[in-house]
Structures are given as C-alpha cells and as structure tokens.
Amino acid sequence: MCTTSHLDNCLPSLDFPANPCHTNSMKTNNPYVNNLLEMGYDIKDTQTKATKKTFPCVIHGRQFDTEEQYLEELNEFMCGM
C-alpha cells in the first residue's frame, strides 16, 4: 500500500477491474439481472435498446395519435405524481 511519502513511485492498484460495468462476475443492483447472470446469461443478453415509437400507438389500452399527444399526457402524468 502506498504512503504519502512515496506516492510518486507507486503503481496503479489492480484491486478493481478496469471497467467493472462489463464484467460478468460483478453483481448489479437489479435482482432480476443478477438472477439471469447466475443462470449463465451474458450481461449483454440482459440489455435491450429502446425502440423509437411510431404513431398512432396504443399503450396499455390508451390510444395516442401523435407524439405530441403522447408527450403531453406523459408530462401531465409525471407532474401529477
């Protein structure tokens, strides 16, 4: 371990992986993802990209004819929480 008297001569610590977000052995905060990782899935298998919504669309039985209508109602919902 480095002390303040010889910090210039110290090598970087190798205690942690360089990019811990992309290691399969690292646990996440999501218990569902952790379960999939324990089952042998790769972390990339648990991530999905968001898709662009096309309008008109129906979400949980609600019809949205335009993106503006969707965003307006989403804003009203979020502000009312």
pLDDT digits (tens, 9 = 90+) for 49-69: 888 889 999 999 999 999 999
Percent of the chain at pLDDT above 70?
Answer: 68
Does 32 reside within a domain?
no
Does 9 reside within a domain?
no
The end-to-end CA distance of the chain, in Å, is: 50
CA-CA-CA-CA dihedral for 55, 60, 63, 64, to nearest 10 = -40
CB 54 within 8 A of CB 69: no
Local structure of 72: helix, strand or coil: helix
Does 28 reside within a domain?
no
Does 12 reside within a domain?
no
Full domain range(s) for residue 60: 51-81
Does 81 reside within a domain?
yes
AA letter at 81: M
Is 0.85 topped by the overall pTM? no
* Number of domains observed in the structure of the chain: 1
